Structure 1
């Protein structure tokens, strides 16, 4: 059998089939590579988003910790201020009693002082629902008549 004759006889239909099959296979490979590339790109986007979220979480944690430190310092200052106000309030009441006692011994009319604000401060409701300050107590000096007489 002559190979050249066989080739000439079958090259037309067989070449078309081989060309069609190779074109289809190339298109299939191209589609598979495109799908892999899309999956790779999606993975890269997910990693970039995860990295961004991680950096944001770290920044928020740092700012939360610094805010927590500031809140602690402010609370400490508030407690020291309340202690000083308590001492000042007690001293003012003591001074008024001494003045009244001296005026009573001297036979003078008792001086009328402006009433002190209530201490501890009345309770206030803060936005988070907790109560700030002490419970409301009627600790203000009465405006009644002098007790020494």
Structure 2
């Protein structure tokens, strides 16, 4: 738990981590909640949620998360390999479950943000970013907010 983290910082940094990951993929690639070649697979827009499994209370630690399809150029397996190489070069802690036919990989930034990528069937690549948990005090309204519909390369 990061006691100094605000909900705005959690949201902004999660989107930043996803954008940095996107930056290493082929030109023209974007992250999008909609996949035009697989329209029945729209993803929820992400947002704030509790860091615990019991949803009977709405205060306590929360996190921000956002998930996207990788849409555009490139071969998804090659894109996953690009992400893995870059995450390692940046000094992020990498967990690679994509070897020997696996489909997942993830990385954790030094400041505790987590990004994961997963190959789907048919071959699609999705990525999810998650912030560290931050405290919501008893009686405080849980944070509201959603992730952008798409993240474009800069």
TM range (shorter): under 0.3
More helix by proportion, 1 or 2? 1
- The higher relative CO (CA closer than 8 Å, separation ≥ 6) is in 2
More strand by proportion, 1 or 2? 2
Normalising to structure 2: TM-score of the pair? 0.22
Structure ID, larger Rg? 1
Normalising to structure 1: TM-score of the pair? 0.22
